[in-house]
Amino acid sequence: MNWDRVATAGGRGLFVILWLLVAALGLYAAARFRYVADWTATGRNSLTPPSVRIVRALRGPVKIVAFARGPRVRRSLGALIGKYQRVDPAIRLVFVNPDKHPALVRRLNIGFNGELEIRYQGRRALVLSPSETGVTNQLARLERTGIRRLTFLTGNRERRMRDPSGLGLSSWVGQLTARGFTVTAFNPGSGKPFPKDAGILVIADPRVRFLPGEVRALTGFVKDGGSLLVMLEPGHTEGLSPVLASVGVRMRKGYAVDPASSLLTGTSPDFIAIHRYPAIGPVRGMHLVTVFPTAAALALTPAHGLKPQPILTTGADAWTQEQPLAGLVAPPPGVHPSALAIGAIIARPDQGKDQRIAVLGDSDFAANSYIGEGGNLTLAMNIANWLAHDDAFIDLPNRTSPDLTLILTSGEEDVIAFGFLLVLPILLLGSALGVWWRRRRL
């Protein structure tokens, strides 16, 4: 018997057995344990740390309904939500063809192919931008358990929240409702006290003067720590000056004129356009252009321990005037151009909770005619969320993908061209000649 051959065969058999054992252990580990690695240059196939923190803070199951048609859109949405499912497998993704459910699409106000609806603990929110930023922001808002209520004042010819005309606020109110806000109305002239669950009180361009009793009630509401949003028009304070003065704000006479805005809008200089914002409050991280047709300037002065902060400021060459624009636009005699504030916020600690107030010298920006211009809708939503103490806005970094782009110098391009056009053909030709020469000698 050839013992060397037997030993060799036994060694091979042992190797096969060990290899099969290792493979079985590997399959068991793959089934038992879960490990995912993202080796892309910027980790673009996984969630950023802020998103991971939001997902891990969820206290219940999340269902995401994607209103999408077509395999390409569905694959894209599946890859996006897959990032969240790798962090929390309890997140469910369901696809709905909007063409087969028109009634549901109308009821939810679904506007485009690929829109998402997130359902969490009986609350819902729509994601208009199917991206990590959009999904994470909505998850963060749904996680909040605080009251998100806006109460619009009526009875003084304010802009109506359900009015679909160009002057109405129905588009903004529709977006607020889709984002989980409860929107109601209250008439202070009804004789009833302000409801304790009013949330954020909204005064949108009143055209009838408030009665002294109503002004006192509003002043008391602010003094008691209530949140307030005031949107006025030039020359229309309608008796609200005492309320504004209590928080350090005064409406200047006339309207703002900003020649620099004409360069952005191509229209009259009283059509204010703003594209730079301070990194505070509702405009933190804003980079879109917002427009304000005929806005009033605000004079800001600290009062009662409050310090108003401007959030919307014109260019340095702006001024206010009361006369209509005519001919060559120039500041009135004796008026020195300067930057003007047309929007401000006020915040103060009140019994462990910050009181928040926003005052704007324009209300047209939120009306149906202009809410879709530039970043107006974003600004309106940001203000509402800031007033509701929703500081869960996630400023997620835009992760670039350097491994998707190949940048070559001119020398490297020449080397590649020389290699493909000359060296490679010569090598192929040489290889063919070599094969031919060997076969000829056989």
What is the pLDDT, as a whole number, of residue 312? Answer: 96
* Residue spans of the chain under pLDDT 50: 394-395
What is the pLDDT, as a whole number, of residue 17? Answer: 84
**Torsion of the alpha carbons at 217, 161, 67 and 89, rounded to the nearest 10:** 0
Q: What CATH superfamily classification does 148-326+333-387 receive?
A: Class I glutamine amidotransferase (GATase) domain (3.40.50.880)
What is the pLDDT, as a whole number, of residue 251? Answer: 95
What is the pLDDT, as a whole number, of residue 338? Answer: 93
Sequence-distant (6+) residues with CB within 8 A of 381 are: 175, 176, 179
Q: Where are the domains of the chain?
A: 49-140, 148-326+333-387
What is the pLDDT, as a whole number, of residue 394? Answer: 46
What is the pLDDT, as a whole number, of residue 352? Answer: 57
What is the pLDDT, as a whole number, of residue 175? Answer: 83
What is the pLDDT, as a whole number, of residue 342? Answer: 96
pTM value?
0.66
What is the pLDDT, as a whole number, of residue 144? Answer: 67
Closest alpha carbon to 380 in 363, 398, 397? 363
Q: d(Cα 73, Cα 105) in Å, to the nearest integer? A: 17
What is the pLDDT, as a whole number, of residue 54? Answer: 83
CATH no., domain 49-140:
3.40.30.10
What is the pLDDT, as a whole number, of residue 205? Answer: 94
